[in-house]
Amino acid sequence: MNKLIYTFILLIICVIGYSQPVPNVEENIPYLMTFGQNADTDWGDDDFSQAFFFQLPEDYDQPFFIRVFDPDTGGDIDELRGDFNTRCVFEVFGGAGNWSDPAAKETSPVGNYKSGTLLATRAFAENPRYDNQWFTFGPFNPAQGEYSDEFGSYIFKIICEGITGDDGNMYRYYLSTSATENRPIEDANAFAYEYSFRMHDDVEEVSHIYPYVEEGTVSVQISNFDWDWDGNIVVISVARQGQEIRISGEDHWAKDELTVQEEEIRTSMDFRFVKASRLVKHNNVVVNVRNQFGDALRFYSIPLGGVPKYKGEVEFIPIE
Ligand SMILES: [Ca+2]
Ligand SMILES: [Ca+2]
Ligand SMILES: [Ca+2]
């Protein structure tokens, strides 16, 4: 394709900012992942709980829905151990504090992390009715969320927790204007402070997540859990051409620290998860990033400022 047209199309996609599959297309992550709390952590989930936040622009005043794909734990998509005996609960929170409570911005389910007002809840075990199907929460009214001045948005939280069992639940979300179809909301976005996800079972596929670097960030500490010595985790940004970070083996955290460069402030970083040439199957991983104060950075489904492109001179590495 003509390169200019291609760039133009990409630009339109970025500007319109339509979401709202979570994970989003740019992330190329097959599923979010949460295990039952009786699972061993060496299957890839460190804490059996995952929180996501949806933000709706303040000028959006219509009802909306949060849809969950494959909410049950059973069937082909989910990760079986013995028999399927896992029950996961999804809880939707709105109201004051659902996002601004400090516990809600943490990476572990500790303290008042279920802050806010519980708007809807539903537990799923193995259930063919919801296997490979969508379940819809809502309708919700945007004003039921927590208003953030900083984002000019109403914020809602959804938590998925594995309350019993030892299997892995794979699922996705979609923020929709419709109860029966996936219809995006213009300028909406989603974010998390910790990302628990399933990698592709294909060595050619590269997954991404995009933390946003706020003003005042001096350094970031990147943590990854149970990477199973799969390939490399590489950081790309406007100022980084591709920096490999320390990776973890089975059931371990690895941490690495990067000094943030001036150009990276108010941009997103691109964490690329590149698989090894030997296939590591069913690889579940958890990732979080903290700044020099220990605050967790937000990973946005639609990277703020777009997918970062290295702006320095490209280093030419001859092929030998
Ligand atoms: Ca089981
Ligand atoms: Ca599932
Ligand atoms: Ca793993």
pLDDT, one tens digit for every residue, the chain (320 residues): 455 555 555 444 444 455 589 999 999 999 999 999 999 999 999 999 999 999 999 999 999 999 999 999 999 999 999 999 999 999 999 999 999 999 999 999 999 999 999 999 999 999 999 999 999 999 999 999 999 999 999 999 999 999 999 999 999 999 999 999 999 999 999 999 999 999 999 999 999 999 999 999 999 999 999 999 999 999 999 999 999 999 999 999 999 999 999 999 999 999 999 999 999 999 999 999 999 999 999 999 999 999 999 998 776 666 65
**Residues with Cβ within 5 Å of ion ligand 3?**
44, 226, 228, 283-284
CA dihedral 79, 81, 84, 87 (to 10 degrees): -70
3-state secondary structure of 298: coil
Other CB atoms within a 10 A radius of the CB of residue 9 amount to 11
Residue 132 to residue 126: CA distance in whole angstroms: 12
CB 284 within 8 A of CB 45: yes
Ligand nearest to the CA of 248: 3
| Å from CA of 78 to ligand 2 middle | 5
In our burial notation (b when 16+ CB lie closer than 10 A, e otherwise), range 164-191 reads: ebbbbbbbbbbbbbbeeeebbbebbbbb
Give me ligand 1 centre to Cα 249, in Å. Answer: 24
Strand-pairing partners, residue 259, are 219
Please give the distance, rounded to the nearest whole angstrom, from the Cα atom of residue 230 to the centre of ligand 1.
25
Q: Which ligand is nearest to the CA of 33?
A: 2
**pTM tops 0.85, yes or no:** yes
CA of 80 relative to ligand 3 center, distance in Å: 15
Paired residues of 235 in beta bridges: 243, 271
The ligand whose atoms approach the alpha carbon of 229 most closely is 3
How many whole angstroms from 154 Cα to the centroid of ligand 2?
28
Task: Measure the CA–CA gap between 27 and 34, rounded to whole angstroms.
Answer: 18
Q: Quick count: other Cβ atoms within 10 Å of Cβ 123?
A: 14
